[in-house]
Amino acid sequence: MKLNIAVLPGDGIGPEIMPQALHVLDAVAKKFNHEFTYHEAICGAHAIDAVGDPFPDETFKTCMDADAVLFAAVGDPRFDNNPTLKVRPETGLLAMRKKLGLFANVRPVATFNCLLHKSPLKEELIKGADFVVIRELTGGMYFGEKYQDDEKAYDTDIYHRSEIERILKVAFEFAERRNHHLTVVDKANVLASSRLWRQVAKEMEPKYPDVNVDYMFIDNCSMRVLTEPRFFDVIVTENTFGDILTDETSAITGSMGLQPSASLGEHTPLFEPVHGSWPQAAGKNLANPLAQILSAAMMLEHFGLNKEGALIREACDQSLEQNVRTPEIQVEGGKHYGTKEVGEWIVNYIENK
Identify the active-site residue in 187, 208, 337, 349. Answer: 187
Identify the active-site residue in 49, 57, 219, 353. Answer: 219
Least Cβ distance, residue 258 to Mn ion (angstroms): 15
Active site residue 219: yes
Q: 90 is in the binding site of which of Mn ion, ligand IPM, none (Cβ under 5 to 8 A by kind)?
A: ligand IPM
Long-range contacts of 140-143 (CB under 8 A, 24+ apart): 140/193, 140/238, 140/239, 140/240, 141/239, 141/240, 142/94, 142/239, 142/240, 143/94, 143/98, 143/239
Q: 155 is in the binding site of which of ligand IPM, Mn ion, none (Cβ under 5 to 8 A by kind)?
A: none
Q: Which is nearer to Mn ion, 130 or 243 (CB)?
A: 243
Least Cβ distance, residue 279 to Mn ion (angstroms): 16
Residues with Cβ within 8 Å of residue 141, at least 6 apart in sequence: 155, 156, 157, 239, 240
Local structure of 39: helix, strand or coil = strand
Active site residue 142: yes
Q: What gap in Å lies between CA 119 and CA 249, rounded to an integer?
A: 10
Q: What gap in Å lies between CA 250 and CA 131, rounded to an integer?
A: 12
Quick check: 248 binds Mn ion (CB under 5 A)? no
Quick check: 243 binds Mn ion (CB under 5 A)? yes
Active site residue 187: yes
Q: What gap in Å lies between CA 313 and CA 336, rounded to an integer?
A: 22
Find the helix or strand (DSSP H, E) in which 348 lies. helix 339-351
Residue nearest to Mn ion (CB): 243
Local structure of 126: helix, strand or coil = helix
Is 243 assigned a ligand-binding role in the annotation? yes
Identify the active-site residue in 26, 67, 155, 243. Answer: 243
Is 107 assigned a ligand-binding role in the annotation? yes
- Name the CA dihedral angle for 305, 271, 31, 4, rounded to a multiple of 10 degrees: 90
Q: 299-327 in b/e burial notation, b at 16+ Cβ within 10 A?
A: bbbbeebeebbebbbebbeebbeeebbbe
Binding mask 191-230 for Mn ion (x = CB under 5 A): ----------------------------------------
Q: Which of residues 110-129 bind Mn ion (CB under 5 A)?
A: none
Residues with Cβ within 8 Å of residue 145, at least 6 apart in sequence: 154, 155, 156, 158
Is 233 assigned a ligand-binding role in the annotation? no
Quick check: 90 binds Mn ion (CB under 5 A)? no
Least Cβ distance, residue 276 to ligand IPM (angstroms): 6
Q: Which residues does residue 260 pair with via DSSP β-bridges, in sequence order?
A: 273
Q: How far is CA 18 from the centre of its chain?
A: 15
Q: Where are the beta strands (DSSP E) in 298-337?
A: none
Least Cβ distance, residue 277 to ligand IPM (angstroms): 9
Active site residue 118: no
Chain contacts with ligand IPM (rule: CB under 6 A):
90, 93, 243
Is 247 assigned a ligand-binding role in the annotation? yes
Least Cβ distance, residue 140 to ligand IPM (angstroms): 11
Q: Which is nearer to ligand IPM, 171 or 324 (CB)?
A: 171
Q: Which is nearer to ligand IPM, 93 or 235 (CB)?
A: 93
Q: What gap in Å lies between CA 11 and CA 3, rounded to an integer?
A: 24
Options 117-125, 235-243, 307-315, 317-325: segment touching Mn ion (CB under 5 A): 235-243
Q: What gap in Å lies between CA 207 and CA 339, rounded to an integer?
A: 46
Is 230 assigned a ligand-binding role in the annotation? no
Active site residue 337: no
* CA-wise closest residue to 55 among 71, 78, 33: 71
Q: Which is nearer to ligand IPM, 42 or 93 (CB)?
A: 93
Is 149 assigned a ligand-binding role in the annotation? no
Residues noted as catalytic: 142, 187, 219, 243, 247
Which residues in this chain contact Mn ion in the complex, by CB under 5 A?
243
Q: Which residues define the annotated binding site for substrate?
A: 97, 107, 135, 219
